[in-house]
Amino acid sequence: MAAADVTGNWLAEVAAPNGNVRKTYYDLKQDGAKVTGFLRTSGFDRPLEGTIDDTGTVTLTLETMLGANRPSMKTVGTLKADGLHLTMRMRPDMPPREVVAKKVADGEGLPPARIEPPALHKVRSNGLAKTPPMGWNSWNKFAGRVTAEDVKGMADAMVSSGMKAAGYIYVNIDDTWEAGRDGQDNILANSKFPYMKGLADYVHSKGLKIGIYSSPGPSTCAGYEGSYGREEQDANTYAAWGIDYLKYDWCGAARIYKDTDMQAVYQKMGDALVATGRPILYSLCQYSRQDVWKWGADVGGNAWRITGDIRDGWNSMQKIGFSQNDHDQASFARPGHWNDPDMLEIGNGGMSAEEYRTHLSLWSLLSAPLLAGNDIRTATPETLAILTNAEVIATDQDVLGKQATRMSRTGDQEVWVKALADGSKAYGLFNLGTEAAQMKLPVRGKVRDLWLKKDVSQSEFTVPPHGVALLKVK
């Protein structure tokens, strides 16, 4: 029998550099040497289980929210007179933090009462995204550090670098812009974004559009204010600010709703956006759960995430990209409604130029949204040449709106094909191996190499490791 007793509700507070405080509750029950309970954050409630020994050392295991593709997280703590000393991680890929959790009242940290979602119906189309949306998003490079000045600088750079001319139009602010609400429950931006309407006006003055982020839960993934119970009010605020794009992330809603409620919950914001009268592109972010591709368009979605979060590395990118033939997702992609395998990592430094060309080639064949995630202000000429290749982008933006499918797979070699509006087809010859490979085009015709930007006569290509030959064939 363990001597210590950790039964109770423990609050660990971690301050972010931007001043926001992330609250994590460990609601624990001890039975001898066995410990069970829940980890409660602003975004999720997850079951815990573990043990405690006679020195008061407790070891807790948490299964991560995204399942088997992420390792479990372990939290180790020691019960002392001043509280429960914990070594905790916010994510499996982040370094541990040392915090002291204090015991608080039972029930603190529980989500608010459930609001019953509406009956299902089809949301009126907003008429947007006839081709996959293109632009930039702050998260991959800046995460919670993004500021209004970063957004202004990115808008300037999108114009001066040629990104705007290449078709990148949206400048999207991801999570951590939110403060609380005013006396009338209107959503407020925090000190990093002191003039949201003025910022939108600035972005619009560059001939670009601006996007923002929220969640159907009471809090966002990073613990900021969500839109729960304030969907219409927030949609009207976004419209008044001049917002053109909303990324709507499930996160905190999982504390209140079941996955089976997801369609109705997303429908609620879809209706609210349309009711504003402003054309606001609606991007669903719920990590492919509930076969979103089957109902995303019905709730007004212009794009919907079909994967977990991407990381800037070959293993993450290729696992996400080359898994997009595993379900019947391609048949649901069409003008106005797109499958989204997450944002681009091109230029962030975790992959080679060859791997980044594979990244853009595959996303373009998949008719995916192309949202750059690097710092465009400091992008190298090589990075900009990849991101702005007009012939590759044209494959993504083809008005027929067909998503590519895998034609063949032999070992580390895959061939993907996409029908195009002019009757031609785009072929991606991908070499996932670590040695160069000879790959043969499976058809005859007039061949255009989209990376070399020239017509070629051969039907066999030497494809470098982790590389691609992207070809248009008439």
164 within some domain: yes
Q: Please say if the pLDDT value at position 460 is more than 80.
A: yes
315 within some domain: yes
Domain that includes residue 339, residue range:
134-399
Distance CA 203, CA 242 (A): 10
115 within some domain: no
What is the average per-residue pLDDT within 132-153?
A: 97
Q: Which two tokens stand for residue 398?
A: 């083809």
Any idea of the CA torsion for 363, 364, 370, 372, to the nearest 10 degrees? 70
Q: Are residues 225 and 318 in the same domain?
A: yes
Q: Are residues 49 and 20 in the same domain?
A: yes
Confidence class of residue 328 from pLDDT cuts 50, 70 and 90? Answer: confident
Question: In 70-186, where do the E strands start and end?
Answer: 73-80, 83-88, 97-104, 134-137, 170-172, 178-181
Q: Are residues 411 and 380 in the same domain?
A: no
Do 422 and 413 form a contact (C-beta atoms < 8 A)?
Answer: no
Of 27, 150, 175, 249, the active-site residue reads 249
Q: Please say if the pLDDT value at position 289 is more than 50.
A: yes
355 within some domain: yes
Confidence class of residue 97 from pLDDT cuts 50, 70 and 90? Answer: confident
What does the pLDDT look like over 61-87, one tens digit per residue? 875 444 434 455 678 888 898 999 998
CATH code: domain of residue 462: 2.60.40.1180
Confidence class of residue 91 from pLDDT cuts 50, 70 and 90? Answer: low
112 within some domain: no
**Percent of residues, the chain, with pLDDT higher than 90:** 84
Burial label, 7 (beta-carbon count in 10 A; 0-12, 13-18, 19+): middle
388 within some domain: yes
Q: Are residues 98 and 166 in the same domain?
A: no
Q: Are residues 377 and 413 in the same domain?
A: no
Q: Are residues 99 and 145 in the same domain?
A: no
Lowest mean pLDDT of 80-94, 105-119, 192-206, 369-383, name the range.
Answer: 80-94
Q: Are residues 384 and 421 in the same domain?
A: no
CATH code: domain of residue 151: 3.20.20.70
Tell which of 346, 371, 399 closes a domain. Answer: 399
Tell which of 378, 399, 420 closes a domain. Answer: 399
**Structure-token match 């509406």, residue found:** 118
What does the pLDDT look like over 414-447, one tens digit per residue? 999 999 999 999 999 999 999 999 999 999 999 9
**Structure-token match 């594979």, residue found:** 358
What is the average per-residue pLDDT within 264-271?
A: 98
**Structure-token match 């189309």, residue found:** 125
What pLDDT score was predicted for residue 69? Answer: 42
Of 175, 309, 340, 342, the active-site residue reads 309
DSSP string, 15-68: E-TTS-EEEEEEEEEEETTEEEEEEE-SS-EEEEEEEE-TTSEEEEEE--TTGG
What pLDDT score was predicted for residue 95? Answer: 76
Do 129 and 303 form a contact (C-beta atoms < 8 A)?
Answer: yes
Q: Please say if the pLDDT value at position 218 is more than 80.
A: yes
Q: Is 309 annotated in the active site?
A: yes
Distance CA 23, CA 177 (A): 18
Q: Are residues 165 and 251 in the same domain?
A: yes
120 within some domain: no
CB atoms within 10 A of CB 408: 10
What pLDDT score was predicted for residue 4? Answer: 77
Mean pLDDT, the chain, as a whole number?
93
Q: Give the burial string for 320-331 (b: 16+ CB within 10 Å, else e).
A: bbbebbeeebbe
Distance CA 99, CA 104 (A): 15
Q: Are residues 154 and 273 in the same domain?
A: yes
Q: Are residues 376 and 427 in the same domain?
A: no
CB atoms within 10 A of CB 416: 26
Confidence class of residue 1 from pLDDT cuts 50, 70 and 90? Answer: very low
Q: Please say if the pLDDT value at position 358 is more than 80.
A: yes
Number of domains in the chain: 3
Distance CA 29, CA 12 (A): 17
What is the average per-residue pLDDT within 373-395?
A: 98
Q: Please say if the pLDDT value at position 357 is more than 60.
A: yes
Return the closest-CA partner of residue 282 out of 306, 295, 266, 265: 266
266 within some domain: yes
Q: Please say if the pLDDT value at position 210 is more than 60.
A: yes
What is the average per-residue pLDDT within 15-20?
A: 70
CATH code: domain of residue 61: 2.40.128
Q: Which helix (H) or strand (E) holds 407?
A: strand 405-410
What pLDDT score was predicted for residue 250? Answer: 95
pTM comes to 0.91
Tell which of 399, 432, 460 closes a domain. Answer: 399
Q: Are residues 394 and 412 in the same domain?
A: no
Q: Are residues 79 and 185 in the same domain?
A: no
